[in-house]
Structure 1
Amino acid sequence: MELINANPVIHEKRERRTRQAPENIDENAPEAIDQLEIFDHIRDIKDPEHPYSLEDLNVVNEDSVEINDELSHVRVTFTPTVEHCSMATIIGLCLRVKLMRSLPPRYKVDIRLTPGSHATEAAVNKQLSDKERVAAALENSNLLDIVEECLSPTLG
């Protein structure tokens, strides 16, 4: 298999920070989730072509996560390593699946490419926003195997 980006730039990972527990907790309110928690869910997703995480490749970073807890909305904007990345849709699918599995069901998840970062940005964004296309992709056993591999924890 010929790689689109055979020698990607590897970035230094940010140190993991600990979250501060909120002081005044309303036991009846849904638990608030912050940007750092969302980033912690996605930072270790493996790239489909390389043995590196999306954080290692700077495909995602803490600033690529936006959250509006009041509206239960999360947006992750990701940047492929090259403009013609053939794995952009798979990466977006991995991000969506990881957050669907990790977040309470009240959250709406929006996964998008960083504006201007991909040659077919509009088409990829349309696919990632279409619930039927996402559901169909997850019914494809070959695609699901790739997603599961990207989401599986690394050893060591």
Structure 2
Amino acid sequence: MNAHRMEQLKQLESLARLLEPGETERAFLLDQVGAYANQFINQINAAPAYTASENGRLPDSFHINETGAAIEELLPLLQTHVDTPGVAPTSDRFLGYIPGGALYHSALGDFLADISNKYAGYYFPSPGAVQLENMLLDWMAGIVGYPDTALGSLTSGGSLA
């Protein structure tokens, strides 16, 4: 490989490393997101089922770009323009459908699953994840009274119908 290509690869690798913060930065980000999550969960019981949006748009000053933005700038935007307006399925007052609802333990499980990024759709690449999914399905089938022969699959949402 020629020297020019190697230099290009090193530059690209340097840019890609921005997506992999070190432990100190990860701890800071986790602290900020954890505080936001706690604030959100603590207000759920007082939240209306629906909040009208002023214009349904993020501010014109907000742009997604390669340089990113500080978490301290992004979380208020998330609260004001994404989490607050519209339907609040986590609210006690929302009865539109069966909501998934801000279950803290589930959110932590999702976080850990996203970190490891295991593929649970096939046994070979992740036997533990497949076994865990099957155990969960068996447990849920038992709750609703299905027989031991019941089978199922967890999907990302919606319906396979």
TM-score range, shorter chain: under 0.3
TM-score under structure 2 normalisation?
A: 0.23
TM-score under structure 1 normalisation?
A: 0.23
**Rg larger for:** 2
- From the two aligned structures, give the one with the greater strand fraction: 1
- From the two aligned structures, give the one with the greater helix fraction: 2
